[in-house]
Structure 1
Amino acid sequence: MPPITVMLKPASGLCNMRCRYCFYADEMAHRTTESYGIMQQDTLEAIIKRVLAFAEGSCNFMYQGGEPTLAGLSFFEQALEFQKKWNVNRVVIENGLQTNGYAIDEAWAEFFARNHFLVGISLDGPKDIHDANRVDAQGKGTYNRVMHAIQLLQKHKVEFNILTVVTRQAARSTGKIYGFFQRNGFAYQQYIPCLDPWEEGAQTPYSLTAKDFEQHLKLLFDQWYQQAVRGDLQYNRYFFNLLAILNGQMPEACEMRGVCGRQFVVEADGSVYPCDFYMLDEYRLGNLVTDDFETIERRRQELAFVETSARIKESCKGCKWFALCRGGCRRNWEPVTGLDPRNVFCSAYQGFLEYAFPRLQQLSRMLQEGRR
């Protein structure tokens, strides 16, 4: 088995915030058991034992939610002990955690630093934009608490990146958001387009149109590019993956590979799913407490989840940008059952790539030559 990444949901879909656009809350509402609660320690140990017996070379444990910190700091301390106990193949183990930042205090920050966790923290920009959608259980904005959490991560020198959900409002405030991030020294950024609920045609106040997303990408790229040619090439996940493709490398982001990856997303009861966006009853692959990886892989093949994603859609055939776009994330094609499904952001990517391609080529050449 090659290096393996396992995404764990220690607190299932439980969360201490009530973000208005939360895709996982919508996802839970579409399955029989909405939440599996907090993962039990015997479940955690069984999962880690099976994963480490299967892994070769390296293994990455990524904790997400819901909000994973609701499992408590002792849960993660125990996870590290289980990793030491069951690392029979002596693989290199890395740990990461995606958090909303709401519960991060000195103890959490010190733990992340001491154990070399890579932390992703959700921040949608300055206070007015962030608080428009990222609220607590009382409906109050969470900006101040999240910024305090980030300050603690900086204080303890924790490696972290910023995850920003691009809503309609955020897309129309791209310059404001990017400038805010620069003033605060947030050099590692990832932007993800906001997902509509599963119901086809759902429209919400935060829904992102292809037109707004295209303008967001263009303005974001303009500012990022200007810094890059001045010698300050900052990490932007989407742009870095485009440069990787231009340089003949495999993109790291699964939505840019043209086919879904072989992922293992594990719920709090041990149930395994092929993708964070498809943790629904019909996509359940098995359970890592009771099933071996061979059984889980057979179920994955029966579902043809990966194979379905690899089929080139009619609307992609002949597109001049397919080699760079590769169709995008399967979730943005839903429903995929039509004769000619189309990525909801297809026109946005086409317009952006037409606009930015010459400068992407320039940066690609600069990187190949070892210059920035």
Structure 2
Amino acid sequence: MMIKPSSSACNLACSYCFYQDLALKRDIPFHGFMSDEVMASLIEKCLSEAERCSFMFQGGEPSLIGLPFFKRFVETVNRLNETSHSIVNYAFQTNALTLDLPWAEFFKENGFLVGVSFDGNARLHNLYRKDSKGEGTAQKVLQSISLLKEQCVDFNILSVVTPAMAENVRPMWNYLSGHGLPFLQYIPCMDPFGEEPGGTSFSLSPDSYAKFLMQLFDLWYENLAGGKGVSVRFFDNLVSMLVGFQPESCDMTGICSVQYVAESDGSIYPCDFFCVDDYCLGNILSSSITDLDAKRKELQFIESSPNKSLACSTCQWEKLCRGGCKRYRNEGAYRYCTSMQQFFPYAIHRLEQVARTVRQQINTK
């Protein structure tokens, strides 16, 4: 269950924010902060259905609702879970501007995995991630990262790949490595929902993304060969697939998964990338999980998600690419198809080498 307790509210004005774009396309862009009634209904219905339950908080900026909300949330989970006995995990995606010692202590005490949005280095970050005054925010984010490290909070870095980042891969990598940040995730910058790709200053072209992936892979492999492995989620998933496991990243599975995204008023959507009115599944206050699943089935959200183009079915890289995420397609074509066509021949032999090593390690355990 992905939860947006602050709805679309944010203390940043990022140029490329996909959620602000989605919110502005709804009849009600901002639903206010989540009430305790909605919170309790979410928790109760999730715990009653699941042996394992992950509560993942995003936004907007989830911290804007305040730390007391999350303390009440965890207290409610603990109380209701005395009878459900579900295994519960927490995750929290943040721009890190409001984090302080009480936040860090709370994350550590309750086992939160924190994702910090930071675009590689101070200069790249400040290009697009500005506050309401138009000022860069990198310095404050770096202070929060230092705090999370000091308090031994589990966290990773989430970076949005823009044309500027694609042109500055090594400086970005060196900066993150120099700050001792070994868990990295990169997401290609999204074009506005329902619009033709390539129409903004931050639109990432397929050629730029291919260049980014190849340069990033060289640096990742170089570190790994030197005994200083860094986790890059995309490459980790590719290795895992070559070993024989399913990818854990939903955009790499080839088909959408069963997910629930809760807006602050309790409205439920099937995916973070599709939180618009036409995809609303119901409301957690009045709908059961069964009702939500039935509405998703009615919309054929999962059933229509595989890329069924002939080019995909005959591609030698189909088993690794799997047609791309539904959100990155326009009339069936995967926006970054040619990126993958360039990347996989470039990296496959080294990926297979890493996979063989991992398989050997598994077999000797």
Tell me whether the two structures share a fold, i.e. TM-score over 0.5: yes
Partner of 1:151: 146
State the alpha-carbon separation in 2 of the partners of residues 85 and 46 from structure 1: 13
Cα distance, 1:133 vs structure 2:
0.3
The 1-side partners of 2:173 and 2:358 are apart by 23
- State the Cα deviation string for residues 285-333 of structure 1 (Å, max 9, x = none): 1111211111111101100000001252222121110000001110000
Residue 352 (structure 1) shift:
0.3
- Per-residue Cα deviation, 1:35-65 (whole angstroms, up to 9, x for no partner): 1110001110111011111111x11100000
What is the TM-score normalised by the length of structure 1? Answer: 0.95
Q: Residues 319 and 51 (structure 1 numbering): CA distance in 2 closer, same or farther, change over 3 Å?
A: same
Q: Is the 8 A contact 1:196 1:203 kept in 2?
A: yes
Q: What residue in structure 1 maps to residue 179 of structure 2?
A: 184
Matched residues in 2 for 1:306 and 1:125: separation?
33
42, 62, 71: which is aligned to 1:68? Answer: 62
Alignment partner, residue 353 of structure 2: 362
Cα distance in 1 between the residues matched to 2:237 and 2:197:
30
Cα distance in 2 for residues equivalent to 1:184 and 1:311: 39
Equivalent residues in 2 for 1:340-359 (5 A)? 341-359=332-350
CA contact (8 A) 1:101 1:121 kept: yes
Distance 1:202 1:239 in 2: 26
Report the aligned-residue RMSD.
Answer: 1.1
Alpha-carbon distance in 2 for matches of 1:11, 1:322 = 38
8 A contact 2:306–2:323 mirrored in 1 = no
TM-score, normalised relative to structure 2:
0.97
Name the CA distance, whole Å, in 2 between partners of 1:318 and 1:96.
38
Distance in 1 of aligned mates of 2:66 and 2:130:
21
Map 1:28-67 → 2, pairs under 5 A? 28-56=23-51, 58-67=52-61
Give the number of aligned pairs: 360
Q: Which runs of 5+ in 1 are unaligned?
A: 1-5
Q: 1:223 aligns with which of 205, 219, 223?
A: 219
Alignment match, 2:235: 239
Q: Which residue of 1 aligns with 2:79?
A: 85
Mapped partners of 1:78, 1:281: distance in 2: 29
Corresponding position: 1:129 with 2:120: no
Summarize the Cα distance change of 1:238–1:361 in structure 2 as closer, same or farther, 3 Å threshold. Answer: same
Quote the Cα distance in structure 2 between the aligned partners of 1:201 and 1:47. Answer: 35
Is 1:321 the counterpart of 2:280? The answer is no
Q: Does the Cα contact within 8 Å between 1:187 and 1:235 map onto a contact in 2? A: yes
**Pairing partner for 2:301 from 288, 298, 305:** 305
Task: Flag structure 2 segments of 5+ consecutive residues without an equivalent.
Answer: none
The answer as to 2:244 corresponding to 1:248 is yes
Q: Could you say if the C-alpha distance between residues 202 and 216 of structure 1 is closer, same or farther in structure 2, counting changes exceeding 3 Å?
A: closer
Are the aligned partners of 2:22 and 2:276 in contact in 1 as well (CA < 8 Å)? Answer: yes
Superposition pairs of residues 92-171 of structure 1, within 5 angstroms? 92-171=87-166
| Rounded Cα–Cα distance in structure 2 between residues aligned with 1:123 and 1:202 | 23
Amino acid at match of 1:98: Q
Shift of 1:207: 1.2
Matched, 1:205 2:201: yes
Query: SS in structure 2 opposite 1:367?
Result: helix
Q: Which amino acid aligns with 2:91?
A: G
Contact 1:174-1:216 at 8 Å conserved across structures: yes
My pick for the range that moved more, 216-225 or 107-116, is 107-116
1:102 alignment partner AA: L
Give SS of 2:90's match: strand
Residue by residue over 1:49-108, the C-alpha shift from the partner in whole angstroms, topping out at 9 and shown as x without a partner, is: 11111111x111000000000010000000001101211220111111000011111111
- 1:264 maps to a residue whose letter is Y
Is 1:331 the counterpart of 2:327? The answer is: yes
CA deviations 1:5-25 (Å, max 9, x no partner) are x10000011000001100011
1:116: Cα distance to partner? Answer: 1.2
Q: Is the 8 A contact 2:270 2:279 kept in 1?
A: yes
- The alpha-carbon deviation at position 230 of structure 1 amounts to 2.1
Q: Structure 1, residues 108-137: CA drift from partner, whole Å, max 9, x if none?
A: 111111111100000002211110000001
Aligned-residue sequence identity (percent) comes to: 40
SS in 1 for 2:310: coil
Instruction: Answer whether contact 2:198 2:205 (CA < 8 A) is retained.
Output: no
Deviation at 1:202, TM superposition (A): 5.0
Conserved? CA contact 1:47–1:288, under 8 Å? yes
Per the alignment, in what secondary structure is the counterpart of residue 165 of structure 1?
Answer: strand
Which residue type is aligned with residue 97 of structure 1? F
Encode CA deviations 1:123-176: one digit per residue, 9 max, x unaligned: 002211110000001110000110011011011010000000000101111111
Q: Flag the 1:224–1:357 CA change in 2: closer, same or farther, 3 A.
A: same
Structure 1 consecutive aligned stretches of length 4 or more whose deviation exceeds 3 Å = none
**Residue 53 of structure 1 contacts residue 86 of structure 1 at CA under 8 Å; is this kept in 2?**
no
TM-superposed CA distance for 1:342, in Å, is: 1.0
